[in-house]
Amino acid sequence: MNDFEQEEQPLSSSAMSENTVTNGSIGERESFEEMEALEETADAVSNDTISEQDEASADAAAPEQEANPARPATVLVKREPRKKFRMGPAKTKSFRQFVSIGWSGEREPATDLIWAEAVLDGKWIVIDTLERVPTRKEIVERILSLQAALVTLDFNFSYPTTFFDLLRETEGIGDWHSMIHTIRRDVKKNVDDGLRLWAERMGRYRESQLDPEVPRGKLQRSRRYDDWGWSGGQKGLAPHEQLSLARRFRHTDLPLRGQAGTSMMSTMQIGYNRLTERYEFNGNIRGRPALLGMAMLDQLLEAGRKDLAIWPMMESRALTIAESLPWLFTEGKLPEPSELENIFKNYEDAGWEISNTVRAAARKNPAKREALFTLMGVVKTEQRLHGRRGHLPIRDYNPAIYHDPRVQLEGWIYGIGYRPPEAETDSRHERPKRDRKIASAENGEQTTSAPLVEETSTEA
């Protein structure tokens, strides 16, 4: 008897009765004639699969069967070999070194530019670096000194696709690499002048899609001299006072807008300064850091390392740089300093070695505390230790993300699930339509809104 053969044992009286009950329940769905036909077919198949060796064994056992008729005959049935089961395509290896950078756009020397680092040492996860870095130049040098690691930075790597349409028409900037190269060139000579130039570009983008239906309520309540003409007639609103329909958020930002709050403030949030009569990043805590960060990404690519990749504009390599959102791992709630010691003890029981220097730094500085817990969230995601659904390690992303034109322009936040546009279209047809309606900006017709990730929001 080989590995693919199995000895068929006769059924006892109790087993036969159970088999009868089972067949009776099956008979509720199929007729008696159909069951007989299936049994005859199964018997024929079993008889055909008996090999010559099995027949010789049966002939040799015939005299023994005649001498002992009470012993049942042994029938050998040849089974099909088991198929090897594989859990999908092969996955790339996980990273063994992780760096989380708390980015800052303030003037140097910066106070909130944080470097947090963790390494895998056998079965232990060791965190021994949590410190402030004074300059962005030192950040670049530290990143380029790494051999193989996953580095996450908490600033937007790009802008909405519709902004690229304007840049392509007006300045010939058609792809992501050209945009970050232009940003670096503009801020290289003078940072403030370069930032002001990009704020003006965003202002033109905002005014390129103004709402055709200007609300009159604001004008009727206005008593300013500039809002009224010599004849007593009311003037129209200036372009910077009108509502804009231009998109300020990327596709990857939309699912978290309602939950993350100010953590998801658009990097294109600008205000109009009446004194200077130009657009500026007034009160925007993410606009200036994003521009300086994208200039740094171009500097990293200019270093010429073939094992360096900006994810997901490039496929993951030994040294991978990815965009992170701290809120995704902290949900905007950082533990109090008095709670940290108990948290660190629980992590130590789970195989985490967090040095005393890191613990002391996390207690004193909230920015370092946020960078630390972001780093821990990234490590848990890559090691599949994070329990929340939706946090994906880089190796589990659909390969279609590297060929999606929209993602190649806008980028993607690390950890957020991704579906190809074809899958989103199919699921949208299967879902029931929403009851909420939105007005079309072109003809004013009422249309049913698309899923959240496909909405075009009305921006002020």
Helix (H) or strand (E) holding 90: none
- Maximum CA pair distance of the chain? 126
Residue 322 falls inside a structural domain: no
Domain that holds residue 47: 5-78
Residue 33 falls inside a structural domain: yes
- Tokens 């079965």, located at residue: 123
Residue 107 falls inside a structural domain: no
91 touches 397 (CB < 8 A): no
User: So what's the pLDDT on residue 46?
Assistant: 45
User: So what's the pLDDT on residue 425?
Assistant: 57
Rounded to an integer, what distance in angstroms lies between the CA atom of residue 372 and that of residue 361? Answer: 10
255 touches 416 (CB < 8 A): yes
Residue 20 falls inside a structural domain: yes
239: exposed, middle or buried (Cβ count in 10 Å: 0-12, 13-18, 19+): middle
Instruction: Give the pLDDT confidence of 42-57 residue by residue, as tens digits.
Output: 454 444 444 444 554 5
Rounded to an integer, what distance in angstroms lies between the CA atom of residue 303 and that of residue 324? Answer: 23
Which of the pair, 337 or 423, is modelled with greater confidence? 337
- Tokens 């990815």, located at residue: 322
Q: 354: how many CB neighbours lie within 10 A of its CB? A: 22
Residue 314 falls inside a structural domain: no
Residue 59 falls inside a structural domain: yes
Residue 347 falls inside a structural domain: no
Q: How many domains does the chain have?
A: 1
Cα-to-chain-centroid distance, residue 123? 27
Residue 36 falls inside a structural domain: yes
Instruction: Give the pLDDT confidence of 249-299 residue by residue, as tens digits.
Output: 999 998 888 788 777 888 888 888 888 889 998 766 789 999 999 999 999
Rounded to an integer, what distance in angstroms lies between the CA atom of residue 192 and that of residue 24? Answer: 84
Query: Of all residues in the chain, what percent carry a pLDDT higher than 70?
Result: 65
CA atoms within 13 A on the CB side of 35: 12
Strands (E) in 333-392, as ranges, are 352-354
Report which of 121, 379, 156 is spatially closest to residue 252, judged by C-alpha positions. Answer: 156
3-state secondary structure of 31: coil
